[in-house]
Structure 1
């Protein structure tokens, strides 16, 4: 992913790198709509919302919960099942 996709918010390099992995792993499009699921104001585009969400988790979570699998699990838990598995509904 090109770094210019993350130019709307200031976050740590670590948050930017982890967010980039989540965006790639889940094929998240650049549009809008994810911020509200991540408990963020709706004005953030999807990539910036993921980046800010990761940054917030890094700031608040104890270090032992900061693995990529734990962050990925927490990230997915923000969304209703029907959005994650549309074919099953």
Structure 2
């Protein structure tokens, strides 16, 4: 089971990087009108708001990913491998 969580951790690392890149590209494209009009006065507020939303979305992404990964790993090691062992005997 430890190997399963190690593989899931590696996948999570790469998906997290991909998530961050997609989020920051999306948020700049989405708020481009505001950036053009108000960036000079409110740049700190924009960056702070974007960062807070990034943390919220990343926390949600993390919780969903690890919940799904844990369920899949437990099902594999507790059910599928057990059925393979009893079926081959």
Higher helix share: 2
Q: Larger Rg: 1 or 2?
A: 2
Question: Normalising to structure 2: TM-score of the pair?
Answer: 0.32
Higher relative contact order (CA 8 A, sep 6+): 2
Question: Normalising to structure 1: TM-score of the pair?
Answer: 0.32
